[in-house]
Amino acid sequence: MSERLSLPSPARGEGGPVPDVPDNPMRAAQTNMRPPLPKRFYKSAGIAARDGGFALELDGRSARTPARNSLVLPTRALAELIAAEWDAQSETIDPGAMPATRLANSAIDGVKPKMREVRDEIAAYAGADLLCYRAGEPEALVAAQAEAWDPVLDWARDEFGARFILSEGVRHVAQPETALRAIGAALDAVDGPFALAALHVMTTLTGSTLLALSVAKARLTAEEAWRAAHVDEDFQISRWGEDAEAAARRAARWLEMAAAARVFAAAGDA
């Protein structure tokens, strides 16, 4: 689930200023332990109609997933999105810069054989959805949550017939079975592994099935859903400032969120 609180590390301790340390030895050690990126071994990435879909080809040869399945995409738009990531690689291949490819690999290798389990996991988030847990104070945070989250809950009621109960603080509240069944039916309508994998990523990154569905149904843009998921965090930042490492983690997660939204749109329900 998304991190909802990010307090800055203090710059000073009780004993006075902390001296500047130009190099973090732990981080340097971790960096040295990372395996080198593989060299780019192909000149061009393309797509070809095959097996009822569109296969990624590298120099005319079929690409495969980590589990050695054929990397065949259900739509031309999704195949072009994946091929563009491969084309954008420079002298080395950086998987971190290929979020759509990683998601496609997961859809083929992991989600396709376990569609029911993935749907159930997304549905479980609805039972404790981020949007249902509200702050009691301060007033500014209460208002910010209501402004960002209430319209999505109203939309879920109108779109799916799902009425959710709110709770103050972190005390768990059991949601009505009618609401959970309605969300389950909406998830059942997503019958393709690529779209379901993208929906799962958006859910886990935001901590909200409702925000993920709002992007899937074009009620919110990915950017709007991302801001809604970080209302609490942004409030803390406005009070305490932003921690550089937390900001970097959030930026990396946003790339995953944006890629998932693009994959969902390109795959449709396929």
Half-sphere exposure at residue 169, Cβ-oriented, CA atoms within 13 angstroms: 1
State yes or no: pLDDT of 41 exceeds 80: yes
Within-domain flag for 243:
yes
Q: Both tokens of residue 235?
A: 């409030």
Handedness of CA 155, 230, 179, 215 (dihedral sign): positive
DSSP 202-265: HHHHHT-HHHHHHHHTTSS-HHHHHHHHTHHHHHHHHHH---HHHHHHHHHHHHHHHHHHHHHH
Within-domain flag for 186:
yes
State yes or no: pLDDT of 259 exceeds 90: yes
CATH number at residue 239: 1.10.3580.10
Backbone phi and psi for residue 221, each to the nearest 5 degrees, phi listed first = -80, 165
| pLDDT for position 269 | 61
The total number of structural domains in the chain stands at 1
The mean pLDDT value of the chain amounts to: 89
pTM over 0.75: yes
Which structural domain range is residue 201 located in?
113-267
Handedness of CA 125, 131, 132, 138 (dihedral sign): positive
Rounded to whole angstroms, the Cα distance separating 144 from 141 reads 5
Report pLDDT digits (tens) over 206-230.
Answer: 999 999 999 999 999 999 999 999 9
Within-domain flag for 8:
no
Half-sphere exposure at residue 196, Cβ-oriented, CA atoms within 13 angstroms: 27
Within-domain flag for 165:
yes
Percentage of residues of the chain with pLDDT beyond 70: 87
Contact of 196 with 121, CB cutoff 8 Å: no
| pLDDT for position 35 | 82
Dihedral angle computed from the Cα positions of residues 148, 152, 153 and 155, in that order, rounded to the nearest 10 degrees: 150
Within-domain flag for 136:
yes
Within-domain flag for 55:
no
Within-domain flag for 35:
no
Rounded to whole angstroms, the Cα distance separating 268 from 39 reads 33
Report pLDDT digits (tens) over 169-191.
Answer: 989 999 999 999 999 999 999 99
Within-domain flag for 103:
no
